[in-house]
A and B are shown apart, each in its own frame.
Chain A
Amino acid sequence: MTQYRVLPGPEHFLPPAAASMGIRLPNPGEAHINGVIVPEEQAYEEAARQFLMAKVPTIFPGPLVLWAWNEKAAKKATAIRHLYETIKECVTPQQQAMLIPMPDYRPKYPKINPEVEINPNHPNLTIWHNKIDACMFVGVHCHQANLSLKIIRGGTSCYTIAMCAQAGHEDAMMSFRDATAEKIMKLADTIKRLKGSVKFDPKKR
């Protein structure tokens, strides 16, 4: 059993892949928080709390949900929009919810415009520029999501959540697996339910 925990950074000049430190992915019906396997129900609560506590709670939708390439993707995109609107409604005026797409994975030089997009080759630029302190990846291909999550953990203090349609991500501080539109809606419902019970403290951010 590994003692390693996947925590907000900045962790290291080159942080290790969490898998190489012994962190294992959850099985169906489970999630992980900081690398510890938990029932999925627990993860909804924690994800909702992280969004409600954050100064700039942000969703990063990727190519798999940005284009309506099948019915499921379109449904998921609608759910993500709903989640974003829910976060906006539930946070205080001092907090700023954001929805910033990762439209593709092309390296862009000299650099991307961090106000309008995030890129897996230098995701830290968008995090730093917008002072994002909690984010969720959804609809990003797994390999690219892991690259981003590792770089974010290495160089920023942002809390990362992965809403993964496949097996999940150890490099996020929290990961769901087998994501569906229904799971995203359930997260929105949880945020609504916890509204008011989680205090935003700007001094802690």
Chain B
Amino acid sequence: MAENKSVIGTKNKKGQTYTDTWQLMNEAPRTPSFYTGSEVIKEALRRASCDVMIAYPITPQSEAAALIGELFAEGYIGDYFRGESEFAVMSQCAGAAFGGARVFTTTAGPGTMRAMENFPMWAGARLPIQMIVTCRGINSPLSIQPDTLEIAYLLNTGMLVWHAETAQDFFDWILKGYMVSEEPDVHLPLALCCDGFFVTHTKDVVNLTPADMCLPPYDPYRSPVPCMDMECPPVRMMRDPFIMKSNYISYATHASWQQEVWAAVERSRKHTIKWLNGLIETENADADVLIVASGTAVSQGREAIRLLEDEGMRVGLVKVKALRPWPGEEIREATKNAKHIFVPEFNVTGWLAKEIKASIPNSERVHAGPRVCGGMTMPPEIIVQEIKTALGMKSMSLAGRGS
């Protein structure tokens, strides 16, 4: 039986030292490096002791998937291949994880939607697969541009869902993500999302951990379900007795099973708080006006706050890092004194604003916007305008700009 403690300090076949993850992430020296988000995904994977990566091309994650292929050629990944479709990829990821492997994949937009059936299956089967979602438009007419609507669909799958703002978040959270999702009381898949192109295709300075240090390997013997037992649920999904019987026992088992998946999401709270240093981050949360956002909308919010500061107006910020587990209590606490709460989003439906409204008292304080979608950028000026308009202040007309 594998025991992680025994491998700490030893070397893998590439000469990397298996390192205690807390030490790797918090104490090991960091080297500033100028990388795109896709390159950062590759560098995180180099250190992740990943057994299997399965790829399929779809913009904007294709580059990261291809770069991880290079890692395989260099010998850092146990196995790597291209699936027949996104659906096939996610099914193959399940097979690898059932077999006890640490699994990684990347997807985006319509690919995420095509593979959707697999995500509640992953969660129900308690498979700690990590999936990077580089969000893009999902609707017709076709758009490959940033749009976060697909996250809304992931929120009810039973997966853990985190939303990275920057490439630095991405690097750290890929490695930390395995630590949370592989805990035996959690053991759930993680959808680690970012806003496509904004994060994946822009360069940023990212502080990397040493390339000769890596995560301890996954220990499948700590799994809450047996590995690859073809006779038992969850592997035995479709044989008649468990799933097809119409009786109270069958229903009660299914109900209890679903509750257990969501109980595991709840249990991830403690571990996520430890590794991400909280489910949210706040700046000036005592201000009357707050911006609450996730992903790159946080960065645009920061810039809007700077513009408003120049005009003498104080606005606070809440960065939502984890969407599942949902930081309801943290948001309630952070917004308790706010008179106005603005939720800028890169999608048409405003799913984050809806979640926040459902979590806090006096939800009329929430202004669900500004929102852009379909690949539009969100200039900080439109956040400033939204705030000023709501507060009855005079602001310049952005629509008429240049005319």
Contact = CB atoms under 8 A, between A and B. Distances in A.
A109 B185 contact: no
A36 interface: no
Contacts of B233: 105, 107
A144 interface: yes
B51 interface: no
A122 B233 CA distance: 14
B95 interface: no
Interface in A86-118: 104-109
The CB with the most chain A CB atoms within 10 A, among B185, B229, B262, B266, is that of B185
B242 A107 contact: yes
A204 interface: no
A19 B267 CA distance: 7
Contact of B266 (A20, A63, A72): A20
A190 interface: no
B249 interface: yes
Contacts of B185: 25, 142, 166-168
B259 A17 contact: yes
Interface stretch (A41-49, A77-85, A145-153, A179-187): A145-153
B86 to A, nearest CB: 27
B241 A109 contact: yes
A203 interface: no
Contacts of A105: 226, 229, 232-233
Contact of A17 (B232, B245, B252, B263): B263
A143 B1 contact: no
A111 B126 CA distance: 26
Nearest to A147: B256
Contacts of B187: 142-143
A62 to B, nearest CB: 10
The CB with the most chain A CB atoms within 10 A, among B222, B252, B257, is that of B252
A24 to B, nearest CB: 7
Contacts of B222: 166
Contacts of A131: none
A17 B260 contact: yes
A141 interface: yes
Contacts, number: 92
A76 to B, nearest CB: 13
Given A17-B263, A20-B263, A25-B267, A150 B256 contact: yes
A147 B260 contact: yes
Interface residues of A, number: 34
Interface in B221-253: 222-226, 229, 231-233, 236, 241-242, 245, 249-250, 252-253
Interface string B302-322: 000000000000000000000
Interface string A59-71: 0000100000010
Contacts of A14: 252, 255, 259
A35 B266 CA distance: 15
B226 A63 contact: yes
Contacts of B252: 14, 122, 151, 154
A168 B270 CA distance: 14
A141 B263 contact: no
A130 B350 CA distance: 54
Given A142-B184, A166-B224, A167-B184, A20 B249 contact: no
Given A24-B270, A70-B1, A106-B231, A143 B241 contact: no
B183 interface: yes
Contacts of A29: none
B259 A20 contact: yes
A151 B255 CA distance: 10
Contact of B231 (A72, A104, A120, A142): A104
Nearest to A14: B255
B340 to A, nearest CB: 30
A141 B225 contact: yes
A105 B256 CA distance: 14
Contact of A107 (B126, B253, B255, B266): B253
A112 to B, nearest CB: 11
Interface in B3-58: none
Given A106-B231, A141-B224, A16 B259 contact: yes
B232 A108 contact: no
A63 B225 CA distance: 11
Contact of A143 (B224, B262, B270): B224
Given A20-B262, A122-B249, A143-B126, A104 B232 contact: yes
A107 B257 CA distance: 13
A150 B249 contact: no
Given A17-B262, A167-B267, 12 more contacts: A25-B267, A70-B1, A105-B226, A105-B232, A106-B236, A107-B253, A108-B241, A141-B225, A143-B224, A166-B185, A167-B183, A171-B263
29 contacts: A17-B263, A17-B266, A19-B262, A19-B263, A19-B267, A20-B259, A20-B262, A63-B226, A106-B232, A107-B241, A108-B241, A109-B245, A120-B253, A121-B250, A121-B253, A122-B249, A122-B252, A141-B224, A142-B184, A143-B126, A143-B224, A143-B225, A143-B260, A150-B259, A150-B260, A151-B252, A166-B185, A167-B184, A168-B185
7 pairs of A and B residues whose beta carbons are closest in the complex: A142-B224, A19-B263, A17-B263, A143-B224, A167-B185, A166-B184, A17-B259
